[in-house]
């Protein structure tokens, strides 16, 4: 008999974006099992912040955020590899996104 409870990693999930690679926009899906402070940011290969998509409290639930391949100023970014950093209550997950223009 197994008495070990099922634990969700960090109480949240970050799914791979779809489509990936993408051209004009991509969906970023995540799930939170316990509400709290949430940030979702896109970084380039140099570790520079490209776009902050979310930075606020969220309730538990499933979410779908669309990134249109633009930076903080609304300019379209170049083709390349980017990283999506998802943070909930200080815990972090990162996925790789590929943009092809």
- pLDDT tens by residue, 2-56: 555 555 555 899 999 999 999 999 999 999 998 899 999 999 999 999 999 999 9
Distance CA 59, CA 90 (A): 16
**87 with 67: CB under 8 angstroms?**
no
Going by C-alpha positions, the residue among 39, 41, 18, 21 that lies closest to residue 29 is: 18
Element (H, E) at 87: strand 80-88
pLDDT exceeds 50 at position 1:
no
Residue 8's pLDDT is what?
A: 52
What is the Cα gyration radius of the chain?
A: 15
| CA atoms 47, 49, 54, 55: torsion sign | positive
Structural domains present in the chain: 9-99 (2.60.40.4070)
Mean pLDDT computed over 49-78: 96
């Amino acid at each position: 008999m197994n008495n070990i409870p099922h634990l969700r990693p960090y109480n949240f999930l970050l799914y791979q974006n779809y489509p990936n690679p993408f051209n004009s926009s991509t969906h970023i899906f995540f799930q939170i099992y316990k509400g709290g402070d949430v940030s979702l940011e896109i970084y380039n290969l140099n570790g520079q912040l490209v776009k902050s998509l979310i930075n606020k409290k969220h309730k538990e639930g499933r979410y779908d955020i669309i990134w249109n391949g633009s930076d903080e100023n609304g300019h379209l970014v170049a083709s390349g590899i980017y990283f999506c950093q998802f943070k909930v209550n200080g815990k972090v997950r990162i996925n790789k996104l590929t943009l092809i223009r």
